[in-house]
């Protein structure tokens, strides 16, 4: 079965009427998983709160799906490699800052200059291309499975190839915007104070003692880039699904994403309640670790002397950083699953739940 035929089947399902049968018969060579389709309640009145609960169900269901379907962990592993690539390239950039003069571009904005390091743009372009490719593969893998198609992760990645040009264009646009935002965040006084205050509150003394300067700087700037990347994906939530599921160009996919976000804002709110709740728990843990000197009455010897706890604090600090990395990699897959479900919810008026 060609990719074009699969696209036609998916488009047919995207326009499916809620009164149509819940399942269709697939060819004998394909495995049809058990799928339950629950109509989404109409907007307004009690349906509004119901749709928020539906969004919360999508979020929690996405976490359960990742736990149950071990194959999906490959997407998290590959995302983890991309994150390591980001940190490594940032470390290389920090270590070779003195040689970056030919690669720096200054632009006068208002009464000050913003300095753009072209290497930051290249780093973001490469990493965003990888992230978009992984998200596209995950969306196809999940969507085809819901349509009764049995395929491997390799098949899903192969099916992304026809959309490589559009995904590359999206990555370039996001990299340009990300480079500009990164310069504003790190170089302007207002945003600089905000970032500095957050880093001092959440990531206070323990990290300064146990992380080498290059690694510490690489993690700091990588965290900023990851935060910007997440923000961009949230603002263009349905662009990648629109590209790979409806064969849209970049501009139509962007326009469709905005319209679909307006349509599914209640479901998005429900998802955000769950996901931001998890982020809040992680932030509280980071706050406790970062402010541990204050909790120990400024007993700095505890952080400096091997006999009094240095090994323990090293384990806590490095362990927390590693745990955050694993959580972000797994979270990217969970988010991709949720986006696929939300896209189906907005385009077909149904929510799919695995059993």
- Tens-digit pLDDT profile for residues 64-113: 999 999 899 999 999 999 999 999 998 888 887 765 555 667 676 666 67
Read off the pLDDT of residues 285-309 as tens digits, 9 standing for 90 and up. Answer: 888 887 887 778 877 778 777 788 8
Q: Are 342 and 336 in contact (CB under 8 A)?
A: no
pLDDT of residue 238: 94
Q: Are 28 and 308 in contact (CB under 8 A)?
A: no
Of the pLDDT bands very low, low, confident and very high (cuts 50, 70, 90), residue 28 is very low
pLDDT of residue 45: 39
Phi, psi of 36 (to 5 degrees): -105, 130
Largest CA distance in the chain: 71
pLDDT of residue 197: 78
Average pLDDT, the chain: 78
More confident of the two residues 349 and 315: 315
pLDDT of residue 109: 65
Could you tell me the pTM of the whole model? 0.77
Could you tell me which residues come within 8 angstroms of residue 228 by beta carbon, excluding any fewer than 6 positions away? 178, 181, 182, 185
């Amino acid at each position: 079965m060609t990719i074009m035929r699969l696209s036609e089947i998916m488009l047919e399902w995207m326009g499916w009427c809620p009164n149509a049968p819940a399942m269709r018969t697939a060819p004998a060579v394909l495995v049809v998983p058990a799928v339950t389709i629950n109509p989404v309640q109409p907007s307004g009145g009690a349906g509004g709160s119901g749709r928020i609960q539906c969004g919360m169900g999508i979020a929690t269901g996405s976490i359960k799906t990742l736990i149950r379907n071990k194959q999906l962990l490959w997407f998290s592993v590959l995302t983890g490699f991309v994150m390591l690539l980001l940190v490594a390239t940032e470390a290389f950039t920090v270590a070779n800052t003195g040689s970056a003069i030919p690669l720096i571009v200054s632009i006068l904005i208002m009464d000050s200059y913003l300095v753009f390091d072209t290497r930051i743009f290249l780093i973001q372009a490469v990493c965003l291309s990888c992230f978009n490719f992984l998200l596209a593969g995950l969306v196809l893998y999940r969507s085809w499975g819901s349509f009764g198609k049995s395929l491997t992760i390799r098949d899903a990645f192969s099916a992304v190839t026809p959309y490589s040009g559009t995904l590359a264009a999206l990555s370039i646009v996001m990299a340009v915007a990300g480079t500009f935002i990164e310069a504003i965040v790190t170089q302007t006084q207002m945003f600089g104070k905000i970032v500095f205050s957050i880093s001092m509150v959440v990531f206070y003394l323990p990290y300064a003692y146990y992380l080498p300067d290059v690694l510490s700087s690489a993690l700091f700037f990588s965290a900023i880039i990851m935060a910007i990347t997440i923000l961009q994906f949230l603002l263009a939530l349905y662009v990648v699904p629109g590209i790979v599921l409806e064969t849209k160009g970049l501009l139509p996919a962007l326009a469709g994403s905005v319209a679909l976000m307006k349509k599914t804002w209640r479901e998005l709110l429900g998802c955000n309640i769950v996901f931001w709740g998890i982020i809040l728990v992680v932030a509280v843990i980071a706050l406790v670790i970062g402010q541990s000197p204050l909790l120990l009455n400024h007993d700095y010897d505890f952080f400096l002397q091997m006999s009094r706890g240095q090994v323990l604090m090293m384990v806590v600090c490095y362990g927390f950083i590693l745990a955050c990395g694993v959580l972000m990699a797994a979270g990217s897959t969970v988010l991709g699953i949720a986006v696929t479900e939300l896209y189906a919810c907005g385009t077909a008026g149904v929510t799919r739940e695995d059993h």
